[in-house]
Chain A
Amino acid sequence: MRILVCVKQVPDPNTVVYQIDPGTKRLVRDGVTNVLDPGAEVALEAALQLAERDGESTVTVVAMGPEDAEDAIRRALAMGAHDGALITDDALAGSDALGTAKALAAAIGQIGFDIIFCATESTDGYSGMVPGMVAELLGIPHLSFIRSLEVRDGVLTGQRVIALGYQTVQCPLPLLVAIASGSHEARYPALKGIMAAKRKKVEEYTLADLDLDPDDAGEAGARERVLELLPVEERQAGVIVEDNGDGAARIAELLRQRGVL
């Protein structure tokens, strides 16, 4: 099987306090450690496990981003992906979800595939729309929130996470699966993998390579506009009541003040 995994480079969600440029409404990337999106790592892990069980599959990672997004691809290659593709073009900056999906779909169409893995959503943008759009543009089914899967005789059987539990679904290839976050424990690259990744091939694609117009993607093509960015309201500190015999009465008073009682 030819397995494709869409990945993304994001500011390290475990360390970064997000800063947003109020003018462009984009993330400030200066001085920020960029990493392979942990969500994408989980999707890649699911893909690698499928490829390992199958033994004859190749895993290609596809990313769109600035030149240095190649670091994220290298990390994916170190984890075990066979090769990579980076869509990078100055004209792509400022793409909205649809623009991103168009570029990914175009590159994926050129590379060829049997199955595409995506994260359910990226850890920075969180639109969650790109997997569905890519599937639509390629004209293939999209299975969302997949937590486990198996492919036999060209048919995928998988479990979807739903509110009540899990739903077992089936679909013939080709198709796109969006992997539920937390469903797989992403591996840490082995040193051999890190060394091998330096020699693996990463193909670069520009807008021209993909036969896309600047109107299709990037700032120019973006129809979706971010109007305003607001910080999350900080959680209020709680009140600790120490019981000196009158604890219950004081708690009742506090509740009364807040109109609960």
Chain B
Amino acid sequence: MSPTINIAGQLLLLALIIGAGALFAVRTARLYRIMMAGAPTTRRGDEGTRLRRFATMVLGQSKMFEKPAIGVAHFLIFWGFLLLTVSVVQIMLEGLLGGFSLPAIGRARWFIAANDIIAALVIVSLLYAAYRRLRVRPWHLTTQLDAWIILGAIGAHLTALLLAEGFAAAAFGNEGYHWSLAGAALGGPLAALGPTGARIGYVAFWWVHVLLILGLVTYIPLSKHFHIITSPLNVYFRSTRPKGELPKIENIEEAEHFGVGQVQQFTWKDILDGYACTECGRCTAACPATLTGKPLDPKKIIVDTRLATYAQAGVRMLGRRETRAITPETPLIGGLIGDDELWSCTTCMACIEACPVAIEHVPKIVDMRRNLVLEETRFPPELTKVFNSLERNSNPFGLRARTRADWAKGLGLTILGERPDEPVDVLYWVGCYGSFDERNVRVARALSRVLRAAGINFGILGVEEGCTGDPARRAGNEYLYQVLAQGNVETLQGYGVKKIVTACPHCMNTIKNEYPQFGGDFEVVHHSQFIADLLKSGRLKLDGGLDKRAITFHDPCYLGRYNDVYDAPREVVNGLGAEVTEMRRSRNKALCCGGGGARALMEERIGKKMSHNRLDDVLETGCGTLAAGCPFCITMFEDAIGSTGNAERVQVEDLAELVAARLPKESAGAAAAD
């Protein structure tokens, strides 16, 4: 017996399928159109990388497994969904044609058994997901009605399928209809309802199953469950550019608008990011600003982007509380997203690293900062001095440019401009902190001694060096950044510089990953990489004798997450005869010190200090030495250690300082008195 009974039932089903398909198509088309009206961004090329990522992140669900329990549950739901799609085709055709079997598999026992097992596993996974929302309740997971509709509808339609099979077995015998595991299990007990009752049960639950599927199809574009379509695409279209490279505003002097003030000014990929978000909150849980009570929540930024997009598209999301207040006129910044949210970001990229569906939060935040700075001139007042000083002195501190090389006085370092006919092998890029900040001048002097001890032929730019522009760019002042970048690229090219070593991961990132936008291609390494190589090749020898467990290492965001350098700093610590005692959040999970994204140059007025929060991780290790590899981190930690009165317990030392202190006596002597 066909569940659609007769031609009327078949036509009804056909009408419902067409109706649901049409609703889905209309809604999705609107969302697609508004997405494609976004600004252009090139996401083609590197197909190999894209497919590899697709394989690991989508098919392998790699990021999901970082939380194992829900990872397994989601894996089962994901693959269950894909496999059960075949069964949905079978069922729809069966209903439409009044009895039909897909060739070869439609009636195959293994196929039906597999379906039943998968359906049961998915139901169990859904129950776990519901349990997690009700009982485990991770703080970063916000639950809207939407989530219950999705979990409920998926769970119910699979339950209905199993029940329909059970009733069919009761009505027609398990072989009479078609054999199924559910039929074998449920057919006996359900037969107690009598043949008519079983038939009614079969038809009813078959229709419940089909109607829920069709309902879900129409519902998906109005829900975060749209992610089943958008997330895989989002992973595929993720940028293949260096992670640390922000998009450049081309022809900035002629641009009509700067950055993003309205959602339509985002790129289509930014809008796709919004569609792809499932609100799992892993970004929230990783965000150093969220963790210290700042108004920023990276998830909210993405959800707001989506809400604004939906409002523009005239599509209303269902099952949500916040949609009611939002109109197409609601401003993105100041309406949906507050200024303080944007200024709380340290651009540490923990959110991007945590996201299972490759959402790119940081460039959006910087884009909105660009709007605030370049168009609205609305930003924390401290930045006015920073911008003015960068413009006038090429450092953010308000110190005279011509004193930039004063730190090197008496060291006898080669300054490129002073000895143009003596080429150097390596340029040491000192950076503003190393040049001007008393604490970091000590690092610069230590690194100079180390390079000298290893017999490296290196030089510095002296007063010709200028800020790379990183703080300006991350604070949204793209124009000022471009002026600074242009100047530095010309200087570096003027001296034919090929290889650069620096103790500042921010300088490193900008010169390495962002100066190519200005035609500057340089080989840039962090001093930890340089020193690790010197140790490996034996050019640098150190005295051992350190307490093996005395050192922990804080991964700088711009070194680790931005440039994937995790091992070199640890090799340097090994070279000191010690091993890094890891903090509970380290490597790509390391918590930001609070200094990136020009935050070190702004007041931290809201919430707990991010540096104090990270210092808690440091103190937990019990290590007396905190090894660092970034002047921003050192500055933040010095402040945190001082203001929390922990100077007795822990000291922050740059890797170069630790190495310089372990130089054997004779080479230390040869390396010019400091």
Contacts and interface: CB of A to CB of B under 8 A. Distances in A.
Nearest to A191: B374
Nearest to B387: A188
Contacts of A149: none
Contacts of A15: 389, 392-393, 398-400
Interface string B237-269: 000000000000000110000100000000000
Interface in A1-27: 12, 14-17
A17 B400 CA distance: 9
Interface string A28-64: 0001010100000000000000000000000000000
Q: Which 9 A-B pairs have the closest CB atoms?
A: A191-B374, A33-B392, A14-B398, A190-B377, A188-B384, A191-B479, A15-B400, A188-B377, A15-B393
Interface in A168-199: 185-192, 194-195
Contacts of A187: 377
A105 B75 CA distance: 80
Contacts of B384: 186, 188
Contacts of A189: 377
B394 to A, nearest CB: 10
A253 to B, nearest CB: 30
Pick the most buried of A35, A186, A191, A192: most chain B CB atoms within 10 A of its CB: A191
Contact of A194 (B379, B398, B479): B479
A33 B393 contact: yes
Given A185-B381, A190-B377, A14 B388 contact: yes
B402 interface: yes
A31 B383 CA distance: 25
A171 B402 CA distance: 48
A185 B393 CA distance: 22
A191 B375 contact: yes
B402 to A, nearest CB: 7
B375 A12 contact: no
Given A14-B388, A14-B389, A191-B479, 7 more contacts: A15-B399, A31-B402, A33-B392, A33-B401, A188-B387, A191-B375, A194-B479
Contacts of B379: 188
A188 B479 CA distance: 13
Contacts of B398: 14-15
Contacts of B373: 188
Nearest to A34: B392
B380 to A, nearest CB: 11
Nearest to B257: A192
A191 B252 contact: yes
A77 B237 CA distance: 43
B333 to A, nearest CB: 15
A27 to B, nearest CB: 15
Nearest to A36: B388
B376 interface: yes
Interface string B380-415: 010111011100110000111110000000000000
A12 to B, nearest CB: 6
Contacts of B374: 190-192
Contacts of B383: 188
Pick the most buried of A31, A35, A188, A194: most chain B CB atoms within 10 A of its CB: A188
Nearest to A186: B384
A98 to B, nearest CB: 31
Interface in B344-389: 373-377, 379, 381, 383-385, 387-389
Pick the most buried of A15, A192, A194, A195: most chain B CB atoms within 10 A of its CB: A15
